[in-house]
Structure 1
Amino acid sequence: MRTRFAPSPTGPLHLGHAFSALTAFDMAQESGGTFLLRIEDIDLSRSRPEWEAAIFDDLSWLGLDWPRPVMRQSERLGVYRAALDRLGAMGLTYACTCTRRDIAEAASAPQEGVATGPDGPIYPGTCKTAGRDAAGAAIRLHMDRAVARTGPIRFHDTGRDIEIGADRLVQEVGDIVLARRDMGTSYHLSVVLDDAAQDITDVVRGRDLQDATAIHVLLQRLMGISSPVYHHHRLIRDAQGKRLAKRNDARALRTYREAGARPADIRAMVGLTRGA
């Protein structure tokens, strides 16, 4: 078993991050496997070296260890570009110059209604046949052509065998972004390629990413990559029931550490008793 924790260095780790990292680490340890750390820093405008250093420090304090050096997405832009070129050569991508406002206005047109998917409003296909200049454009997946190649998507998720039909992918996911104009890639593309490069056998992550799994398996099928087993765990929420985010500084690990908490206390707070 090979698991991973893949945070973005854009803010402090909080209790939700601790729960996910500890869960992945414990699974690997209990099976005699390997736990890996990956730094997802494709958002260069928000990523900071001080937050990356804090990630290393917090995880080490929790008692986690991992092989060095770690993988950083910012060092793999050429890999992502090559994958985009490959998908493009297969006729599965197109350039999109629409802004978020363009998409929101098209999606809310009376004759269309508003449908949302894992990436928000489902793209209405404005640029699919418009032949617009690709300069400064995002790159989208042509979902109709993609599912014509793959057919239904099947994968194992949190103890269940899942099948999602081609029609659902077209209607409920749509033409997702594979490369944002300011990044050269996207979460969906990079996470699939990075998990494959690290030979990840079991992906452990929160239920907030569960709907994205079909996208990732689809991309794996298109690029001939084996799918890992997926485990989507419960989310750690605040007193109002909201999922924790990096803006929740009150739940940041550094806040608890400064107040005298021990790693065993963090485990207890998130409902994990191993090592307490």
Structure 2
Amino acid sequence: MHDDDSSSPVRRKLVLTVGAPLAATLAAALAGWLAWQAMSSDGGERVPKALGPLPVASDVVQGTPPAPVARPLAGKTVVIDPGHNPGNFDHPREINRLVDIGTNRKECDTTGTSTNSGYTEAAFTLDVSHRLRTLLQKQGATVTLTQDADRPYGPCIDERARIGNAAKADAVVSVHADGSGTGNRGFHVILPALVKGGAADTTRIVGPSRALGERIAREFALATGTAPANYIGGGTGLDVRKDLGGLNLSTVPKVFVECGNMRDPKDAALLTDTAWRQKAAQGIAAGVSTYLRD
């Protein structure tokens, strides 16, 4: 029987309403106890005591507030940029138009890659981004997605950067999967190079973006059990680029995470696995969290 079983006729705990005077409660209990003690049958045999032993202060249950939920990222803003868009396939003219990325002009967006079985990068990035959003929100972060398959195509790479800038994000993560050759395996995190030209100036974000990328690379490896890419980054899991408009035009810390290579069968088996995608989201979330809490 549990200690708090209310069905016991022998012993009941006296519950004190929060704020009620303890002395008055105990006095009332004492009076009732004495009254029952005074009652007896004609033969002198006492009637069973209704209250049992006199309650003591230790029997009084005080109301206590619930423990606060840990929200280490409260007050932080994170923008998640799911690479590509499922609708891009139906809008080749729109996504092929050139936009200004500061140093030159580049296509608005692309369709992304896919596995040999047809699982698209756009589907993968949305799935991981949804999982990542949930994990970060549970830690108290305010999270925005640049797209949620809620628009016909895009947004273009310059607009993706502007979304993070407008949000004054503490961190922006662009989720991707690579389309390299068979045998090329592993993940890597792309960092912004020092770029200054036209509308592009990454001077202020190079340092913090590297710190963000290093933490994501470390936590991603731990969470997924996968190794850094064997074909780029020299085994560090980090790659610095100056040709990506999403990085060049960002004014807040931002990185791209290439979670694996969709064109390699072994990596593709991971990327198409639901449990592994959850681990990928957990690794990215852990990296973002450690960066924002440092």
- Structure number with the bigger relative contact order (C-alpha 8 A, sep ≥ 6) is 1
Larger Rg: 2
Normalising by structure 2, what TM-score?
Answer: 0.25
